[in-house]
Each structure stands twice: as C-alpha cells, then as structure tokens.
Chains A and B, each alone.
Chain A
Amino acid sequence: MLLPELVRFHLTGEPPTDTEPAPPGLRPAVLASLQDLSTLRYDFPLLLTENGDSLTLSLSELFDDILREVAPPGPSGERIRRHLLGLELRIRRAVSGGEVGLLSQMWEAAAKGLLAETNADEAALVQASLAKAEAARLVDGRAVDCDDRLASDFLEHIWTAVGKRQRLVVRQEIAELTLRLSNILQADYSRSQAGLAPERLAGSVGVSHRREFDFEAWSRMVTGTPSGAVGPDRRRRLESILSILENQRFIPGGKATPYSFRFDRATAAATAFRQRVPEMLELIKAMTIARLEIENRYREPKHDEFFAAFDETSPTAQDLAAFPSYLVTMQAEDVVGTEQAQLVDILSSSLPIKVLVESDDILGESPIGDVRWSPGVGGGRLGNLAIGLGEAFTMQSASSNLPRMEETVVAGLSHQGPALFSVFGGSKKHVRDLPRYLTAASAMRSRAFPAFTYDPGAGDDWAARFRVDGNPAADDDWPVEALTYEDDNLQRITEEVRFTFVDFAACDSRYADHFVPVPRSSWNDQMEPAWRFLNGEAPPGKVPYILMATADNLLQRLVVDRELIEAARRCRRQWNSLQELGGIHNSHARRLLEQARARWEEETARELKEVTAGSAAAAVIVEERPVEELETPPAVEEAAVVELPEEAPPADEPYIETARCTTCDECTTLNSRMFAYDENKQAIIADLGAGSYRQMVEAAEACQVAIIHPGKPWNPSEPGLEELVERAAAFN
C-alpha cells in the first residue's frame, strides 16, 4: 500500500485497490486492556440503596466500607480481605452476566458459591469472614449494571426517593389538617345539646361508677347551644374541605386510589397534568382554607369572595411544590413528531414534568443525511435545545457517568419546573466489540456526548447555572491518555495520545468506510496521529491515522478520511462552545482581560514616565517641606462610637426623652392628664395646660431615669416660681 494511495483515500475517501478488510474485534488501543470489566473494581455494579445515607453506592465502595470495619491490618485482616474480595468478584460477575435483584439475594448466592469452592480446611475461616461482613453490611438495594435499563432504573429510583420525602411532609400536613378540622367539629358537637344529652354523658363515665350519677340531672345542669357554636355556613365549609382532604388522589394515604405520576410519553404526562389541574386547585384551596380555619382567621365577609375567585393564578410556587412531579421515560427515537413538539412545550413551561430521554445511538443517520451533513447530532441536540429554552433544568451525561450524578439528579428532580435528563447509554447494535460502559465513557471522553448541567434555580447568571466540570480534563479539547505497548524488540513504550471523536467513531461498524487499515509493512513517517492532525500540528502531505488493537492485542493503524476529520473538528467546536458557557476559555472574558491588561500596562507606563520625569523636582520639594509634615500622621484611634452632631434640645420648653422611658408610672400617677403614654407605652407630655410647673418639676425629680426636662415656667403667675426654677435647673 503506497503513500499516494493513502493520501488519495484521505482526501477523497476512495480506498486503495489492495485494501484488506479490517480484522475483526478491533477496538481503540487505549481501551485494549479493559476487555473484561468484571475483573475490575470500578463504579459498577451500582446499588440503588433502600436504607443507606446516600441513594446510590457502588459495590466497590460498599466492600471498601465493610473491609475498613472488619479487616484490620495484619495477616488475619488480609485473609478476610481475600475472602471478601472473592465474594465481591462473584457478585460483580453475576450482575454483569445479566442477573437482576436485591444485593442481599445475590450476596447469599455468591456466599454459597464461595463456600462450595473452598476446601474443607479453610471453610470455617471463610464462614467467619462472611459472617462478619454480613453483620457489617447495613445497606441493601437493587444491584444494577451499566446496561440498557440503567438510566431509567437510576432516575426512577431517585425520583421515588425524593418524592417519598416530599410526600411524607405533605401527607403529614394533610393528616394534621384533617385531624384539627375534625377536632373543631367534634368540640362543637361536645358543646351542643346533642353532645350533652344524658346518654352521651353516661358514655363519658366508666361503667363501674355509672350508677353513682344522675345523667338526666347532669344534662339539665349543663346547657348546650341547639347545634353548637359553629354556624351552618361554617359547618358546610368545614365538611366540604374535610371531604376534599380525605378523598384527594395526589398524595397516598387518602381514601381514594392515588394517581400515577409515571409515564412513557410526554404527551400523556402533559394531558394528565392538564386534566388534574381543577382537582389540584381544589386541594390547594381546601388546604388554604383549612389553615385559616385552624388559626381561627377565616373571615367570611372577606375570604368567601377571595376563595370564590380562586383559580390557577392563586396558588404560589410553594403551594405547587407540595405536589408530586411527573416522570416521563422515553427513548430518543420516540422523540419525533407530536412527542417532540410536546417535549419542547413542556420544557418551555413551568410544569413539574421530568423527562428522561435515553439515547443508544448518537452516530446514527439523521433525517437530513449521513455523516457528511450531520455528524454527531443524534443525542446531543436535545440537551442543547433545552438549555436554550432558559428555564428547564437540563442534565446531559453518559450512563457510565451516572454514579457521579446523584446530587445533580436530585437537584433536577427537586427543581420546581420541568427537567430534561438526556443520557447516552451506548449501542450494542453498532458497537459490538466494546461493553456498553466503555462505549458510553468513550462518548464522553471523545466529546461526542459531553456531560453538562444547566440549573436555572442555581443563580442568576451562567456562571452559577452552567457546569461542564464533570467531564474528564474539562479544560482540554480532548483528554490525554497514556498508551503503553511493546515494540518489535519487546521494549516497553509509553506514548501520549488523545482520544478524539475519530477514535469514538472508529468503534461504530457504520463508520468502517471512513478508515483504511494499513499493514505494518506500509507504516511510514508520513502517517501522523489523528489527534495531532486535528490540532493542526501535522506538516502538509501527511495522512492521519488512529491506533486500534486487534482481538489478539496487536496494534493496527487505520488511516482516516478527510470527511471524518472535519466531523471531529465540528465536534470540537461544539465542545468549545460548551466550555465557553461553562466559563472555560471564555472568549468574552479573555477579551475583557486583554483590554484590562492593556489599560493597566498603559497606565503603569504613564505613571512610570511621570515619576521618572518628576523625580528631580520632587526631591527639591521634599527638602523645602517642614519635617513634621513629612512624618506619618498619627493613626486615628479606633473610635468605638461614631461622633454625631448633638441635637439641640428645646431652649425653654419642657420635654421628655420618650425613647428612654421605662413606663414606671411615676409621672402619669402624678398627673395623668399632663403626662400620658404614646403608642409604645412611653411617656409624652400630653397637655401642658393640664398641670402646673410645680408638677412638672416634681415629675422630673421622681422620674427614675431622669428623662423629664422641665424647661422654663410657662405661667408667670404661678406661685413659688423662683424656688422651682432653681430645682428644675438640675434637669434642664
């Protein structure tokens, strides 16, 4: 295979005449060592826990926790560790083999298998290790693998748990409101004539002492209103809201069968929501009235009118947050036509509908053509669309990354508006030689399906709302990988490579035409790694290639055509846009930084110039200034109190420092017409004419906190003024 033929293939896509078909079982070279995942301790199997602190936990984390507790350092601990890691391996293999069920069941089966394969000498020790581990295992739950059910199982598990917490609070409130409303009616009945009838009074006394009482006389003595104190309107209202509370179908615990909130179509969820709106409003109204009734704050003249006009605009976001969210699980291929339009409507609204869209295939043909026209648009477009709508919580992630997304999923499900969870799970149909976990992880690493989160409730700007930090090496175009292999001389070689969109596409059988395998005999220096080629570092005339591994672990170079290189560049541009939104290499910020730096440099240069030019003159001025002026001015003492201008007291008029009055009654006792209290029960001069100057001076003398200032006499004919003025001087 000659170089010109490879160049021609790269530029035109026409394969060389002597092209051999690609060997079967090809996989990216950097993933060659990860063929059997069941031997690795990693994020899967994942436990959807029923009783742990967190909602999910990997099997490895669980065993690590158990080992920390039961396997101390030393030989005995090592033995326990060996036994338990054997148990973990068995469970992991069972799950990756397709078994489903509770961890406790798999644990039991694996423990039996382990014991069966243990020789008689060690059986007792294994048994002891298993018993310790069983005692230390405090959680249980379904064990799931990274398979086609993962995304829906994971989301439904968290949705159920979040909803359960929320429903518990609302359920308790409804139960409490029901009880307290019933108490009002019960108390009213107890005070009514019927409630105080002889036979009812008899029922309130124990059987043993019943003969000691004359219930007829007792009933005559206690009087009740004919129908209690609750009027007919109020009774009707109370009974009506009690009936609504008891028969509601939104929160389990009522008399009626609760609604389901789980759907497999967006249209069905939206229709159900709309149909239930009147009933939901009735319940919110009933709860609102119930709270007012319990607080005895319902005023018929005012509130009857308000509640008669209670409509969709009346509930607050807090009221609506009490209701369960709707969960829709859909496959990406079903999001077409009416469903697609409905999904966009939901994501543009404030409806509490959470939609999971699972994609198995992000490299498939789009309706507008093949890779030439729409490379990599499959699954990623929904997420991008949703963040453009502004108010929908949006999460995009590969299924392999879900174990790290628990908090994000909880945030999305707790968000008061709609949410979209777009998850790529990997396709077994077109990517046959990789486990789903690796296909999904490869989609994220190659930026074909990057992870991001858009949370409209997290803040007011993009910095707070948008995150891409869950991606590997989020600062780079593509993450760096270390590839280690043996060369022809059996020497260990480690080289740095990057896993790009081209490597990801190479795993998909539909993209085989974009590659040509090159026999080792034709490898030459004009071939350049595709990632370097994409970075624009390759000299002209070279052809890009990627490294794959054959089924028997031999390295294979595949030359890539120009079309796919262009698709990879487009994928990178899309990733760069997401990076910018996430605050990484943001072009606006960079531009502002450059402008600020240029300004700063300009100003610094100008100041330097001024200092240099004026230094001689400044030296002269320094000599001319008095020494004391050059010294550092004395530090201002830390003032505990801000100095404020003194308020000028009234010159001759009497006044009271009302704010300092302690309500001690001295002055008001002396003359309650002259002195009175204001709205805060602090003394004021109410009527100067209602008393004498003598009383004013006596009040000043009696005042416990000396806040009465008598001023000058206002009636010159009052006797003894000279002496009074003298006594008043101490208080003016």
Chain B
Amino acid sequence: MALTATDCVLLSDDERSTIEDYEGGVPRWCTGCGDNAILTSLQRLCRDEQLPQEKVVFVSGIGCSGRFPHYMNTYGFHGLHGRALPVAEGIKIRRPDLHVFVNTGDGDCCSIGTAHWIHALRYNMDMTVVMHDNRTYGLTKHQASPTSPLGLKSNTTPYGADLNPLDPLSVTLGVTNASFVAQAVDWIPELLHQIVSLAFHHKGFSFIRVLQRCPEYLPAFFDPWVQDPARVLLLSHQDGIQPAPSLSRTYRNQEEHDPLDLLRAKDIAAGADAIPVGILYRNPEIPRYEELRKPDRLYTPDAIAKGFEAELDRFTIWPEQEEKEHAAT
C-alpha cells in the first residue's frame, strides 16, 4: 500500500472512536425489533473503520427505518417518503468525500420510491443502501407492503393479500449497472455485519436487503426460518461471506457462490424455498456516475462567479451602445 506522510500521521494517531461515539438518540423501535440489529451492525462498522463522524451521513425516507439517522451520532437526513435515494445522490455528487448510507424500507423503497430505486441502481453511485424489509408497514400499524406475502391479512387486506410479493433481489439483479446485491437476516448478526462491511468497501451502489422481524405485527412470520437453520442458504465465497466454524455448525446448508456469477445469482434470488444469505452479485468494474460526472476543473468562488455572470450575460438586454461595446470586447 502506497502511503503518504499524511497517512502515516493519521495511522499513528491514537485517538480511537468507540461504538458509543456513534450512538445518537435512544431507539424508539419496539423491543425485539430487527432494526436494532441493523443499527448495531452499522455502528460497529463505523467503529471498526474509524469513520470520522463528520464524514458520515445517513439518509432515510419514511417508515420505521426512517428513524435510523436519529440514532446515529453522525450527519443525517430524514427525508420524504420514497425520496431517500435522490437526496443521497445529491449529497454524494457534491460531497464525494462523505460516506453515504441510506436506510429505506420495503414500502419506502419498493412502493413509493421504486422509480428512484431503479435509477439509483443504474447510476451506481458509491453508497451503502440497507433496505429494512419486515414485509409490512409497521409504523402505520400493519398495512400490506409490496413484499407482503400472498394471503397476508392486514388492515388494507383484511381478506388476505391478492398479489404475489415483489422480490427486491430479482428486481435489483435485473437492473442495468447493478453492482452489488446482497441479502442478510437480522437474526444472524455475524453475517449481517460481514455483509454490511463488504458493502461498505464496494465502490458503487451496494444494495442490501435485510429481512427483519416485526415483533409487533408479524411476530411469528419468520419463525420457520429462524427456528430451522436448514431453511437458510449461506452463500459463502472467498470474495463473499465466510461464516465462522461455530456458525457453520448451525447453518450447514451452504453453497459456494461466486459473486461475479450473475446468472446463478438470479437463480438463487428466484428460489422459493430457503432464504439466501450472502453476496449474490458484486462487480467492481461498473462505472460510477459521480466519477463519470466528476468536474475536470476546480470550482473556486471566482470560477463560479465568472460562470454565473457569463450565463446571466446571455440573457442581459444591453442598451444599444453598451451592446456594441460588449460585442467589441
């Protein structure tokens, strides 16, 4: 690794942030909520990577996941429903030095925010996106979301949901320029943390769907998978997750999956039985929008003022004489 003197100074710095340094307000999620596992994992990531708090921004939309920025002691933006991604893109393109995280939910991302989701994938800007998928609208007390299973009874589907659920993994894998697609479950925190870490280090748009339990409105929904490890398929690979031996004793259903194998990733995503956990797809070669649009010059205040003046001059109505002089100059 090529180090500058600056790197040497920083590496010899003995100031270390602890996990408490990244803790914001006390979470107001329900006790037992899977969101807590995601929060802990991201706080651990910030601590492990020693990210300066002022260099981190969490952006969210609306829903239980929307409260995420309140619980991080970093910059945050609690935005409009479904609009977390365009806000995050705006931040990234103007401040590429910031580490941008997005927390969105199954309703926020897959319903009202779907258009932004699809195009954010295509833009492939460098950010880590965690979709909290509890398969219901929890904040508004249980309405069917796009990922609610067929037949789910809720306040909006009292006779059971009529439609098959949307599969966020298959959708994501089908979008042009998708560069990192992973799935985690809140009840295996070790792998959730590995996946979050891999996503953070991926240069591009890292999309993680986290299946999380809602103890309030779907308390037993994930029990068949939580209680039967054989119904979870771990996708291990040297370029993906590597379960510890102690975890492998419990989760024996594993597959060696190369994250560059898109076709197999699509097959795995479409599989109906076991829940896949791991990196389905990762391709670091896909260009990033913020790199493609990187300005080739520095926008100093003078340069901005000059450009601004020049633009306004195009619309200025010059008095006849002045116009001649202006044209002459």
Residues of chain A at the chain B interface (Cβ within 8 Å) = 172, 175-176, 179, 284-285, 287-288, 291-292, 295-297, 299, 303, 306, 310, 314-319, 321, 640-642, 644, 646-647, 659-666, 669, 679-682, 702, 704-706
User: In the complex, which residues of chain A have a beta carbon less than 8 angstroms from the beta carbon of B187?
Assistant: 660, 662, 704-705
Chain B contacts with A in 4-54, Cβ cutoff 8 A: 4-10, 13, 15, 18-19, 27, 31-34, 36-37, 39-40, 43-44, 52, 54
Looking at B77-85, B163-171, B245-253, the stretch in contact with chain A turns out to be B245-253
Q: Determine if B52 and A284 form an interchain contact, defined as CB atoms under 8 angstroms apart.
A: no
Q: Determine if B19 and A680 form an interchain contact, defined as CB atoms under 8 angstroms apart.
A: yes
The reply to whether the CB of B213 lies closer than 8 angstroms to some CB of chain A is yes
User: In the complex, which residues of chain A have a beta carbon less than 8 angstroms from the beta carbon of B149?
Assistant: none
Interchain nearest-CB distance for B75 vs A (Å):
14
Q: A321-B2, A702-B32 are in contact. List 15 more A-B contacts (CB 8 A).
A: A175-B298, A288-B6, A291-B4, A295-B10, A299-B15, A316-B8, A317-B2, A640-B252, A641-B249, A642-B248, A663-B36, A664-B33, A681-B43, A682-B40, A706-B227
Q: Determine if A659 and B246 form an interchain contact, defined as CB atoms under 8 angstroms apart.
A: yes
Q: Determine if B4 and A666 form an interchain contact, defined as CB atoms under 8 angstroms apart.
A: no
**14 A–B pairs (Cβ distance < 8 Å), ordered by A:** A176-B298, A179-B298, A284-B5, A288-B4, A306-B9, A316-B2, A316-B3, A318-B3, A318-B4, A660-B187, A664-B34, A664-B37, A681-B43, A702-B32
* Per-position 1/0 for B241-273, Cβ under 8 A of A: 000111111001111000000000000000000
Residues of chain B at the chain A interface (Cβ within 8 Å) = 2-10, 13, 15, 18-19, 27, 31-34, 36-37, 39-40, 43-44, 52, 54-55, 186-190, 213, 215, 226-227, 244-249, 252-255, 298, 300
User: In the complex, which residues of chain A have a beta carbon less than 8 angstroms from the beta carbon of B44?
Assistant: 680-681
Q: Determine if A661 and B249 form an interchain contact, defined as CB atoms under 8 angstroms apart.
A: no
User: In the complex, which residues of chain A have a beta carbon less than 8 angstroms from the beta carbon of B4?
Assistant: 288, 291, 316, 318-319
User: In the complex, which residues of chain B have a beta carbon less than 8 angstroms from the beta carbon of A297?
Assistant: 10, 13, 52
Q: Determine if B248 and A288 form an interchain contact, defined as CB atoms under 8 angstroms apart.
A: no
CA distance A315 to B6 in the complex (A): 9
User: In the complex, which residues of chain A have a beta carbon less than 8 angstroms from the beta carbon of B3?
Assistant: 316, 318
Q: Determine if A644 and B32 form an interchain contact, defined as CB atoms under 8 angstroms apart.
A: no
CA distance A318 to B186 in the complex (A): 42
Q: Determine if B36 and A664 form an interchain contact, defined as CB atoms under 8 angstroms apart.
A: yes
CA distance A315 to B8 in the complex (A): 10
Known: A288-B6, A662-B34, A662-B37. A295 touches B248 (CB 8 A): no
User: In the complex, which residues of chain B have a beta carbon less than 8 angstroms from the beta carbon of A291?
Assistant: 4, 6
Q: Determine if B2 and A318 form an interchain contact, defined as CB atoms under 8 angstroms apart.
A: yes
Query: By DSSP majority rule, is chain A's interface helix, strand, loop, or mixed?
Result: loop
Determine which of B5, B27, B248, B255 lies in contact with A319 in the assembled complex, contact meaning CB atoms within 8 Å: B5
Q: Determine if B31 and A664 form an interchain contact, defined as CB atoms under 8 angstroms apart.
A: yes
CA distance A318 to B249 in the complex (A): 46
Interchain nearest-CB distance for A55 vs B (Å):
21
Q: Determine if A662 and B189 form an interchain contact, defined as CB atoms under 8 angstroms apart.
A: yes
Known: A665-B31, A665-B32. A644 touches B188 (CB 8 A): no
Of all chain A residues, which has the CB nearest B185? A662
User: 9 closest A-B pairs (Cβ-Cβ)?
Assistant: A662-B37, A663-B40, A318-B2, A681-B40, A291-B6, A663-B36, A288-B5, A664-B32, A705-B187
User: In the complex, which residues of chain B have a beta carbon less than 8 angstroms from the beta carbon of A284?
Assistant: 5
CA distance A175 to B44 in the complex (A): 36
Of all chain A residues, which has the CB nearest B6? A291
CA distance A146 to B253 in the complex (A): 68
CA distance A705 to B300 in the complex (A): 55
Known: A644-B249, A664-B37. A682 touches B32 (CB 8 A): no
Determine which of B186, B213, B253, B298 lies in contact with A640 in the assembled complex, contact meaning CB atoms within 8 Å: B253
Q: Determine if A682 and B248 form an interchain contact, defined as CB atoms under 8 angstroms apart.
A: no
User: In the complex, which residues of chain A have a beta carbon less than 8 angstroms from the beta carbon of B247?
Assistant: 659
Determine which of B8, B18, B189, B245 lies in contact with A644 in the assembled complex, contact meaning CB atoms within 8 Å: B245
Of all chain A residues, which has the CB nearest B192? A662
CA distance A315 to B4 in the complex (A): 7
Q: Determine if A679 and B213 form an interchain contact, defined as CB atoms under 8 angstroms apart.
A: no
User: In the complex, which residues of chain A have a beta carbon less than 8 angstroms from the beta carbon of B245?
Assistant: 642, 644
CA distance A175 to B298 in the complex (A): 7
User: In the complex, which residues of chain A have a beta carbon less than 8 angstroms from the beta carbon of B52?
Assistant: 295-297
Q: Determine if A288 and B36 form an interchain contact, defined as CB atoms under 8 angstroms apart.
A: no
Interchain nearest-CB distance for A172 vs B (Å):
7
CA distance A640 to B254 in the complex (A): 6
Of all chain B residues, which has the CB nearest A646? B249
Q: Determine if A662 and B36 form an interchain contact, defined as CB atoms under 8 angstroms apart.
A: yes
Interchain nearest-CB distance for B95 vs A (Å):
12
Q: Determine if A662 and B186 form an interchain contact, defined as CB atoms under 8 angstroms apart.
A: yes
CA distance A114 to B295 in the complex (A): 45
Determine which of B2, B10, B31, B254 lies in contact with A669 in the assembled complex, contact meaning CB atoms within 8 Å: B31
User: In the complex, which residues of chain B have a beta carbon less than 8 angstroms from the beta carbon of A646?
Assistant: 249
CA distance A109 to B42 in the complex (A): 68
